[in-house]
Amino acid sequence: MRKFKLAVVASVAGMMLTMGSVQVQAADQQQAKKPPTGKDLAYDRKKGNCLACHGMPSQADAQSTGLYGPPLIAMSARYPDKAKLRAQIADATAANPNTSMPPFEKHNILSGKEIDMITDFVYGL
């Protein structure tokens, strides 16, 4: 009888672990489906990667920030016309052919929608 009870307890414990694992996997999948924000894109090393060159005031959760480009602070004061900020992010070579900032839109690094999202995020800094 005692072996039977142990087998039942072990079986129930195994089912509970499996159910918990399935719930964690489901939560991970839901989170993976969440569309990226402008901040996510700006921090993403495969997309905007703004932190490679720029410092940001919201970088407390960032791991490494760059010191090469100007800090992204007071952006709405620096770019009162949001369209000019978007143009700078999309293709900085249009205003300065010698810039080291890549032309994100022209080289298809970012889509127009992604540039809009990053512009909204950066404009709010």
Together in a domain, 79 and 115: yes
Instruction: Give start and end residues of each alpha helix (H) in 2-123.
Output: 2-33, 38-43, 75-78, 82-90, 112-123
Residues of the domain holding 69: 36-123
Structure confidence at residue 15 (pLDDT)? 56
DSSP state of 66: -
Tens digits of per-residue pLDDT, 21-66? 555 565 556 566 788 999 999 999 898 899 889 988 765 555 567 7
80 and 99 inside one domain? yes
Note the pLDDT tens digit of each residue in 109-118: 999 999 999 9
Q: What is the pTM of this model?
A: 0.69
61 lies in the same domain as 19: no
